[in-house]
Amino acid sequence: MNYYSTNRQSPIVGFKEASIKGQAPDKGLYFPETLPQLDKEFIRSIENYSNDEIAFRVIKPYVGNEIPEEKLFRIVSETVNFPVPLVPISESISSLELFHGPTLAFKDIGARFMSRCLGYFLKNNSKKVTVLVATSGDTGGAVANGFYEVEGVEVVILYPSGKVSQVQEKQLTTLGKNIHALEVDGTFDDCQQLVKTAFMDAELNQQLFLTSANSINVARWLPQQFYYFFAYKQWLHNSPSGDKDPVISVPSGNFGNICAGILAMQTGLPVKHFIAACNANDIVSEYLETQNLQPRQAVPTLSNAMDVGNPSNFVRILEIFDHQFPELKSKLSSCTISDTETTATIREVYQQYNYVLDPHGAVGYLALQRYLADQPGQKGMVLETAHPVKFPDAVENCIGRPIEIPAAVQSIMNKEKRSVLMKADFKQLKEYLVN
């Protein structure tokens, strides 16, 4: 499989080079030259396959021959070695729980796969690699965990000061060793712009071997398809014969997660419709109404991982649909949910179904509930992207009781935070990286 830049001004590369570079030299995102079509019999008999086998069959066309099959199978097995349950909430809505990995967030799968791929590609590399990543919350912890103590790799994580939860901050600032946290006085968009500028700085790239671990990197983005297939496998098992394909609601910030799901659909996964569930940072909701994609400054919300005013991955969704707006709109809709509606949804779902949503899942749940209200007979699932314990103040105020703290969180809460405070200034970032 080869990859081209969405800006179409850079050379075609293979999976290895796309993974190592992260972003194309022309500032575009790498995108597969062709979309593989999965065997229909595989989809029909998906219940007969293990999650390891499903993940391997999904990712193999994108990797090609650049990782031996035996090694690739081992990588995906290590990537998905925790449960991803589809849990019924109501008669028409289920929750795909993506928070059972080591950092309690959906980004564990992409980060674990990418770290293992880079470890394989760089095992004989003489020059130390610097993984540079911006996070709005969960990416930082997942990347830190995935790359912790990986030989020959230094990780530098930029996060917006005061705009991530305490648990999220602890996950990305307490590991030490090869993991370094930069606390930026600004927004996630500021952090993301600093990272993009670093990749475009010729002098810096001569001195350092830089790569990215955001979902702009194909090795982070593509494996996010896995859990959509795991969900469908359970959907078939849980649904009575004759049930329709699911509607899937995805809490959306940088749009890498929903983009992976749409890619899975275009390559053969049965999905009725996708909903991009947005908070106040809803430029895609506006785009689907006006066909005008107008980035703007991000505003802080309770669902902080979605506080993105310029979602990088939306360009890949446009590529999937060949920039044909009518086809895109037939498969994707969007819904904007306020913080007030988010807290009300957490409270109501807990009182009615005894199920605890985190703020991101609550945005997705309400967006799906509204869509299904106009689609009699259809059912769907919401992606629960993070454990509620990451947002204790918002959630506990809604449900009226403390959230049980998982052991993985208890072990880090008393650890010392280690971060370097900096302005949203590229010169300051460059000096830090060089020195």
Within 8 A by CB and 6+ apart from 126, the residues are none
- The b-or-e profile of 151-190 (16+ CB within 10 A means b, else e) is ebbbbbbbbbbebbbebbbbbbbbbeebbbbbbbebbbbb
Can you give the pTM of this predicted structure? 0.90
Residue 72 backbone phi and psi in degrees, to 5: -65, -40
Q: 85-105+221-404 in CATH: which number?
A: 3.40.50.1100
pLDDT digits (tens, 9 = 90+) for 391-405: 988 999 999 999 988
Residue 429 backbone phi and psi in degrees, to 5: -65, -45
Write the CA distances from 24 to 19, 253, 316, integer angstroms: 10, 22, 13
- Residue bearing tokens 């007030």: 340
104: nearest Cα among 418, 345, 363, 391: 391
Q: Dihedral, CA atoms, 57, 59, 61, 64, nearest 10 degrees?
A: -120
pLDDT band at 36 (very low <50, low <70, confident <90, very high): very high
Residue 98 backbone phi and psi in degrees, to 5: -105, 20
State mean pLDDT over 149-171.
90
One-letter amino acid of 197: T
Within 8 A by CB and 6+ apart from 70, the residues are none
Query: Is residue 107 among the annotated active site residues?
Result: yes
pLDDT of the residue at 274: 98
Domain residue ranges of the chain, discontinuous segments joined by +: 85-105+221-404
Query: Which run of H or of E encompasses 184?
Result: strand 179-185
pLDDT reading at 280 higher than 80:
yes
pLDDT band at 178 (very low <50, low <70, confident <90, very high): very high
pLDDT digits (tens, 9 = 90+) for 283-342: 999 999 999 999 998 899 999 889 889 998 999 999 999 999 999 999 999 999 999 999
Sheet holding 273-278, edge to edge: 86-88, 93-97, 380-384, 247-251, 273-278, 332-336
pLDDT reading at 173 higher than 60:
yes
pLDDT digits (tens, 9 = 90+) for 89-120: 999 999 999 999 988 999 999 999 999 998 89
State mean pLDDT over 122-131.
81
Alpha-carbon distance of 128 to 333, in angstroms, equals 43
- The b-or-e profile of 208-246 (16+ CB within 10 A means b, else e) is bbbbbbbbbbbbbbbbbbbbbbbbbbbbbeeeeeeeebb
Print the SS3 string covering 234-281.
HHHHHCCCCCCCCEEEEECCCCHHHHHHHHHHHCCCCCCEEEEEECCC
384: nearest Cα among 101, 10, 78, 73: 101
Query: Which of residues 199 and 420 earns the better pLDDT score?
Result: 420
The strand pair at 179-185 and 153-160 is best described as: parallel
Q: Is 23 exposed, middle or buried (0-12, 13-18, 19+ CB in 10 A)?
A: buried
pLDDT digits (tens, 9 = 90+) for 50-87: 999 999 999 999 999 999 999 999 999 999 999 999 99
pLDDT of the residue at 213: 82
Which one-letter DSSP state was computed for residue 85? -
- Residue bearing tokens 């912890």: 141
pLDDT reading at 390 higher than 90:
no
pLDDT band at 243 (very low <50, low <70, confident <90, very high): low
Residue 130 Ramachandran class (φ > 0 left, ψ -120 to 50 alpha, else beta): beta
Write the CA distances from 3 to 12, 139, 187, 325, integer angstroms: 6, 24, 31, 23
**Max Cα–Cα distance, the chain, nearest Å:** 62
User: Pick the catalytic residue: 21, 107, 379, 430?
Assistant: 107
Quote the radius of gyration of the chain (alpha carbons, Å).
20
pLDDT of the residue at 242: 52
Alpha-carbon distance of 387 to 376, in angstroms, equals 31
Alpha-carbon distance of 376 to 393, in angstroms, equals 36
Query: Which of residues 215 and 283 earns the better pLDDT score?
Result: 283
Which one-letter DSSP state was computed for residue 7? T
301: nearest Cα among 164, 399, 401, 185: 164
pLDDT reading at 131 higher than 70:
yes
